[in-house]
Amino acid sequence: MLVTDETHILTAAHCMLGYSYFEVILGAHNPFDPEETGQQRRFVPIDDVVVHEDYNSPGFLDNDIAIMKLSEPLLFNGAELLLLQSYFS
pLDDT at 81: 41
In tens, the pLDDT along 22-34 reads: 767 766 667 778 7
CB 22 within 8 A of CB 83: no
| Residue ranges of the chain with per-residue pLDDT less than 70 | 20-21, 23, 26-29, 38-41, 58, 76-89
**CATH class of the 2-88 domain in this structure:** mainly beta
For the chain, which residues make up each domain, given as ranges?
A: 2-88
pLDDT at 65: 93
Q: Model-level pTM?
A: 0.67
Residues 6+ apart with CB under 8 A from 13: 51, 52, 55, 63, 64, 65, 66
pLDDT at 67: 92
Q: What is the 3-state secondary structure (H, E, C) of 34-82?
A: CCCCCCEEEEEEEEEEEECCCCCCCCCCCCCCEEEEECCCCCCCCCCCE
